[in-house]
Chain A
């Protein structure tokens, strides 16, 4: 089964990316984690994302484009990246989620991928 793991990070956690004192440990942790998933052959794909302030949000209301700087709403945690895993069941996906560096400084949301629609 395919699952998407959505990695949510607190602002403090995102801040480590550019903090000289923390950056090595931060990136080292993520590289090792991604490497372990690739090594285990469970990773279908995935990406890290640039920080939330680089995001742009668009909606169209009554035909008018509303472009908004930043993510849609301010929340304590922002999406920092995602992977798609191919594993047997939810427990296996949870095992990988539990190893994510952000799991104790943020959270990981696990969502099963919608199966393709039945062909008629």
Chain B
């Protein structure tokens, strides 16, 4: 076998089983960084051995054994007196490993560790992307508006904390699993990006790792098959992802949802999202992500059929603000209210959260929208100007600039 073939098999094994192997290795020691190091040493060994001796029958098991040996040797060097114990344990585990190539999956435990409340919230999503998917710090850093060096440092610090603070690799008990799952799902959604879709012309604060986040969303549905919120999150991300192409015109300009051509949406993704949403509904346990997905589903339905669905949309936004009262949800509810013919009530709602929203771009976009609908075009133009000043995305800045020009001409 050639070097290239070995590389391709090793890379495939890496993609498919990276997170599983890291989780298995770290679950016993609590040391994620050591598990990652041992695994990369195992991949390097595979590239050396496989071209000469052929690809093993069970590449994943081969990698696991090689990585465990590295970990065992490392520990043996570190402690002489107690060295025999972990090495013997490891050897015992290897012997007991099932021979059909199927072994346990500790990824759920790993995800719960990454989203443990003792880990800083801002590093939870990056930590999942790195440990479960094997993304490097530089790739993750770009999506979280951080320098690669700073991101690398924070990831190292988080892994050290997990090891030294003794955070257990366990699936939380029945009493806690609901809240803890919510944290894991929120971190995955943070990796996807934020709720730009809700408000017309609202800025995405970061580009997000959309494909990777959807992959993690699918993994959660697979690992927690009875959790309707995991299905809700997957449905939500699929609805948003289905519109990716339609969100930009041929010149790269921003196209808000209400002007998108539904024919450009990915039908398979919309269909899959709807299927997950329906399955989630059979559990009769509504929650934040199911509500957000249902909102996106109604938006899609409304555009495809041309039927206005203001009343059910307003009800869903009320529900969303009740279960997850974030600033984003409150702003989105105000926009829906303005669209349904109540711009003055929308402005009242926006005034209520004005103090937290001074530099929150979607709030200014929503305010200008409601002002425009109530005929106050001069004030609307002023609000858009502030929104433009808070916008990071060039295409959205241009879109908003065109709006304010229109407001000024008419006003």
Residues of A at under 8 Å CB distance from B?
Answer: 1, 3, 88-91, 93-94, 110, 112, 118-120
- Within 8 Å by CB of B164, from A91, A112, A119, A120, lies A112
Total contacting residues, chain B, CB less than 8 A: 12
- Stretch from B76-84, B201-209, B334-342 forming part of the interface with A: B76-84
Interface string of B63-97 (1 = CB under 8 A from A): 00000000000000011110000000000000000
B138, CB-defined interface residue at 8 Å? no
- Stretch from B165-173, B186-194, B308-316, B319-327 forming part of the interface with A: B165-173
Residues of B at under 8 Å CB distance from A?
Answer: 78-81, 116, 118, 164-168, 170
User: When the two chains form their complex, are residues A89 and B81 in contact, meaning their CB atoms are under 8 A apart?
Assistant: no
Q: A88-B166, A93-B166 are in contact. List 12 more A-B contacts (CB 8 A).
A: A1-B166, A88-B168, A89-B166, A89-B170, A90-B118, A90-B165, A91-B168, A94-B118, A112-B166, A118-B78, A118-B79, A119-B79
CB distance from B294 to the nearest CB of A (A): 34
Of the A-B pairs whose beta carbons lie under 8 Å apart in the complex, a sample of 13, sorted by A's number, is A88-B166, A88-B168, A89-B170, A91-B168, A91-B170, A93-B166, A110-B165, A112-B165, A112-B166, A118-B79, A119-B79, A119-B80, A119-B81
The 9 closest A-B pairs by CB, nearest first: A89-B168, A1-B166, A90-B167, A89-B166, A90-B166, A90-B165, A112-B165, A118-B79, A112-B166
Chain B neighbourhood of A110, CB < 8 A: 165
Chain A neighbourhood of B167, CB < 8 A: 89-91
Interchain Cβ contacts within 8 Å, total number: 29
Chain A neighbourhood of B80, CB < 8 A: 119-120
CB distance from B26 to the nearest CB of A (A): 14
Chain A neighbourhood of B116, CB < 8 A: 90
Docked CA distance A119–B78 (Å)? 9
CB distance from A108 to the nearest CB of B (A): 13
Q: Which residue of B lies closest to A1 (CB)?
A: B166
CB distance from A117 to the nearest CB of B (A): 11
Docked CA distance A56–B78 (Å)? 41
Docked CA distance A110–B164 (Å)? 12
Chain A neighbourhood of B166, CB < 8 A: 1, 3, 88-90, 93, 112
Chain B neighbourhood of A119, CB < 8 A: 79-81
Chain B neighbourhood of A112, CB < 8 A: 164-166
CB distance from B79 to the nearest CB of A (A): 5
Chain A neighbourhood of B165, CB < 8 A: 90, 110, 112
User: When the two chains form their complex, are residues B168 and A90 in contact, meaning their CB atoms are under 8 A apart?
Assistant: yes
Q: Which residue of A lies closest to B78 (CB)?
A: A118
Chain A neighbourhood of B79, CB < 8 A: 118-119
Q: Which residue of B lies closest to A111 (CB)?
A: B165
Q: Which residue of B lies closest to A88 (CB)?
A: B168
Q: Which residue of B lies closest to A93 (CB)?
A: B166
CB distance from A6 to the nearest CB of B (A): 14
CB distance from B233 to the nearest CB of A (A): 24
Q: Which residue of B lies closest to A91 (CB)?
A: B168
